[in-house]
Amino acid sequence: MAAAAEHLGYTPGAVSQHLASLEATLGVGLVERSGRHLVLTDAGRVMAEHAEELLTAEARAVNATRSAHDAVAGPLIVGTWGSSAATLLAPLISRMSDAFPDVSISSREVDLDAATASVRYGEVDVAFGLDYPDAPMPHDKSLHLVRLQPETFAVAVGSNHAPNARKAVARKKRDPTRKRDYVELDMLNEMDWILPPESSQYGRALRSGFRRLGVEPHVAHEVTDTAASLQLAAAGLGATLMTGLMRRLNSSVDLTTLHMREPLTRQIVLISRGDVAQRQPVRVFVEEAGNLVDELLATQNW
């Protein structure tokens, strides 16, 4: 109950009062104690199933009402995380404000792995997400996904500190006209790595992609935050992976970029409700986001 209260922004006491009021209205118990925990009764499980249907019906009614006059207007809550907020949110809001001044945009930080749940339960109208060929997002028929441009991962190592990458870095020094340096798979097996935990979708995707290539990364440091990973790589504590957008956000970090001949990839996606009529503000936001990502990736030369 404490976790549910925190998630909803209520106090545990307020949640308890809401439950007591609902039980009084229905005339049946919805929860019961099991040791130190509360669990749903049979009646509670039935009510939970119907509650999700009721919330979906409410969302349909609200969206249909707001879209009735077909105007691009009204509130829009965007779910963001880390690099999506830092790279995309400000220019997107600027574009939307210029083109659609009647749309009022606010944002809410969401956990990347919980972005779909935030959209499903109406906490946000649309959210940025990431999909990986080696760890695809689960299919959810209640959600609508718009896939933007794919990004390619490259290996990032400290320019002066990574002993296992010196052979690859030396190529660039011998031939400064080289625009792209490739790292061989056997060298990837020799490196120490800075990767996110395997419990995250990101961590699973990178490890699965490496294993598909025949590489078993030796993870010396498990770090989720991209900026921290790149700083550790620059300090010579191992190699990590980065995309062009990640590099754009951390352009001052002293790193050497090494490309893989068979690179790992990811794809930025926008998640919205698929079981309700899409509101006009959501539609135009998705279109503007697609245009912006195309423009950003087209200008990258790394």
**What global pTM score does this model have?**
0.72
Q: What is the CA radius of gyration of the chain?
A: 23
The pLDDT tens digits for 171-230 are 544 445 556 668 889 899 999 999 999 999 999 999 999 999 999 999 999 999 999 999
How far is residue 127 CA from its own chain's centroid? 8
Tokens 């309700």 label which residue?
276
Q: List the end-to-end C-alpha distance of the chain, in Å, as a whole number.
A: 49
**Segment holding 129, helix H or strand E:** strand 126-131
The neighbouring-strand residues paired with 295 are none
Q: Strands, DSSP E only, in 171-289? A: 192-195, 218-222, 240-242, 255-258, 265-273
154-263 has CATH 3.40.190.10 classification: yes
71-151+267-298 and 154-263, same CATH topology: yes
The pLDDT tens digits for 69-123 are 557 888 999 999 988 888 889 999 999 999 999 999 999 999 988 899 899 888 9
Helix, strand or coil for residue 240?
A: strand
**23, amino acid identity:** E
User: CA 290, CA 293: separation in Å to the nearest integer?
Assistant: 5
CATH among 3.10.20.810, 1.10.10.10, 2.40.37.10, 1.20.1740.10 for 2-65? 1.10.10.10
- Domain edges within the chain: 2-65, 71-151+267-298, 154-263
Class of domain 71-151+267-298: alpha beta
**Segment holding 99, helix H or strand E:** helix 90-99
More confident residue, 52 or 41: 41
**267, amino acid identity:** Q
